[in-house]
Chains A and B, each alone.
Chain A
């Protein structure tokens, strides 16, 4: 009977057994009982006594138990009933050979753990759709301005988006919103002030995301009108945390930013903005309120809003894109006060749409896929290693297999046993792997990975469990078949003491192929890790433009109610700077409206005597409101001077611009002495200094064009009045600047007990955080590559040891004939090198292709960089040599007499 047929009928038996476990047995019993009864009847008829008749019948029948057993066998039920016994035996065998099972299980568990945790991340971040209704139809809108910077993107402008909302037919809903921060005060109940993230939204946003209040009323047109009674909607978590889930809060008034507002409703827990899913330190939005929409407002090209649209039924992304392109081209006509043809032309202004999911992922999808592939490679290498171990063990058990085959054990039986054993091994490994993955993902959530979107959704979902089952099963069957085939090649002659050189030659060839494959995969992983590591090191050497060493930063939030005027604010900041500077170990203190690498908005800045003319054509650049000493505290070198506290009081206060800004605005000219202003209405400020370029948007991005404005009336008014939230930069001489947090808090509490201080961190950790995504990718790939290297070395060592032991007789003969030990060692080494070289060659070819997927993560080094690949190849050859030294020395030390006698 063919193997396939056999397997099919066993499967049928298994199914029958699963449905009705003992039916076959009962029927067999009934059948045999019937036979005995008939036989007894017959004996009775021939005149025996009933007792004698029964006895004869039984004797004639023969062994009932044996018959039963054989029927079971013939029926194909054996597989099922033997399964438990097989597993018990397999377990015993595995435990008896810890030299095989322990390294195999550990190797597989590590590899499974790697693949499963990365798949867990990938499936919950990339594969699972966003938690919105029909999320595939949600789109993010950005304004691309290639004329300003190649990758430069702005948000959308209010007037612009409202225009699109009126005109675009390919969107079912279009909404805009803007984040802010609000202080929740509640004087009566005596609860402390609380600072929460807030959002102002247009009604279209709620329609696009299908957000409905869980309680209270829906926001309506009336809420958006200028002068409308202020109403807020609370996020579910805030309602529970601060208001104890009190339903009576609806309709009550609470204090927000010193003003009274009515609580109009509570939003459900599912009402979350995509930015909250991204988890980039934004925190959860607590307070929602409607954005004021004033039809009489003069349209401005102030691109500070975020926008989300939902495609209309039947509309496609392409259709929406072409419609937006058409509408964008028509902006100068529709909103002439905000946009001109020249502005569109010079900035290359266009509206871009990106599927929302893609936007939330922010390009991490390909990175995760790359890492998953790397870990799958590692799993393959691990499997190859286990296969190598298995072949070695099977060689040792070859005799056993041959005896059993000769005694009539079916090949199927051997296969079944082998697969059973491997299933046990692989399921144990997969279980351990799942444990590792769970721990890994928990660690991932704890360190928060700064940068991973949807990090709080990460977990081992059912997909990962299914994958672990499938992986364990697939690997077990592959290994089981391998083992059975190996032991199945055993022939009777093997029993006669001859060494079955043919079968062993095949085993040797197989292990060589394994080694070449392992080295090739290791080459790919190492090449990727080396490229990432180089990029990482290069980025660390990139001058960020500031000096992060010994710098502590945090934010101070002044209560707006008691700090209404610029004088009040300024005098607090001055006092704070001076008091902090007196602390031991502190060198310099400065405050600013933002920090490099923290994400910053932009404002339109006009430069006097510069080539650009109207407001619509001026670049939007990061503008920082800074106190004197801010740049010194950050360690940014300044040509000219920074404004001092004394200057602020007089009219001598001046702005500092970055070199990049100066270069573009006054090419070839001198910036100092020229003047800049925000927008086209504010008074001009003289430029008194030019600052070194700062890479404000990331170490891998070109330097930003920054403008640093001093705290004075003309500068702050267009930016929304006196700044109540500033970042404090404290430069110290300390190793760990975080240690002075306590004294900093104490000092500032003396000045203003009601000002919350938040976000203490060192500037170095901020820099590291901006590289977190690269760092984690680099580390993961480096770990995978390191493991691959070790496994590859073990593989080479194993195969060479095996080859040497197999050729003992030959080596002994050659020694006896006068060959020198060193020659034999050299030939073993060259065999190892040959295998490794072949692997490196194949791997380099693969790496040339595979490292292209890393392009987005590389900095200053190209994928497939020849130097890197050469170094990796050379390194692997060295490792191969080292791994081969032991077996080679053993080859040289073979005792000819003993070897020949054995042979």
Chain B
């Protein structure tokens, strides 16, 4: 019953803001590049490393994992967790490493551009923006 009610209340605001979807893939790939991990592990790692600034709702994490898996960026197998429970571990594939590289580049380009705009205090001729377009 509880589940049902909660699934209906989709718009319930979360306590901590959810990360952007495009960014979530990058974060997962980066986390997995450090070694195989299960879903819960990934969410904990993100939370710890970002010092609680980035909380990933499970409603986004698992779909993202399945999406990445379908894309072939990660693969999974069942193993046993630190406390001897059966858990599904995800691992980066070669394709995933390549994707991580590309996504990182895009991210840096994007944040760099945003930084430059924010750092600009004088009105100049608009800089020619070139590079990967934003995703939609």
Contact = CB atoms under 8 A, between A and B. Distances in A.
Interface of A: 1, 9, 27-28, 30-32, 34-35, 37-39, 41, 58-67, 70-71, 73-76
B86 A75 contact: no
B39 A73 contact: no
B88 A30 contact: yes
B4 interface: yes
Contacts of B64: 74
Contacts of A59: 6
B40 interface: yes
Contact of B7 (A35, A65, A74): A65
B30 interface: no
Given A63-B7, A64-B3, 5 more contacts: A34-B40, A63-B6, A65-B4, A67-B59, A75-B66
A491 B46 CA distance: 41
Contacts of A37: 85
Contacts of A1: 71
Nearest to A35: B40
Interface string B61-105: 011111101110000001001010111100000000000000000
Contacts of A28: 62
Most A Cβ at <10 Å: residue of B58, B65, B85 = B58
B38 interface: yes
Contacts of B57: 62
Contact of A74 (B2, B3, B40, B63): B63
B48 to A, nearest CB: 12
Contact of B62 (A32, A60, A65, A76): A32
Nearest to A30: B86
A74 B85 contact: no
Contact of B66 (A34, A66, A74): A74
B63 A61 contact: no
Contact of A34 (B9, B70, B86): B86
Given A64-B7, A74-B67, A34 B58 contact: no
13 contacts: A1-B71, A31-B87, A35-B40, A35-B62, A62-B59, A63-B10, A65-B3, A66-B59, A67-B63, A70-B62, A71-B62, A71-B63, A73-B63
Contact of A31 (B6, B10, B62): B62
Nearest to B5: A63
Contacts of B86: 30, 34
A558 B87 CA distance: 95
A32 B81 CA distance: 14
A681 B108 CA distance: 116
Contacts of A41: 83
A45 to B, nearest CB: 11
Contacts of B8: 63
A41 B40 CA distance: 12
A425 to B, nearest CB: 32
A117 to B, nearest CB: 46
Given A27-B88, A75-B70, A63 B3 contact: yes
A697 B63 CA distance: 80
Contact of B70 (A30, A63, A70, A74): A74
A893 B95 CA distance: 66
A898 to B, nearest CB: 43
A34 B88 contact: yes
A724 to B, nearest CB: 85
B13 to A, nearest CB: 12
Contact of A61 (B9, B38, B58): B58
Contact of A63 (B40, B59, B71): B59
Contact of B88 (A31, A39, A70): A31
A64 B63 CA distance: 11
A861 B19 CA distance: 82
Contacts of B62: 28, 31-32, 35, 67, 70-71
A182 B3 CA distance: 88
B88 A67 contact: no
A66 B12 CA distance: 13
A12 to B, nearest CB: 9
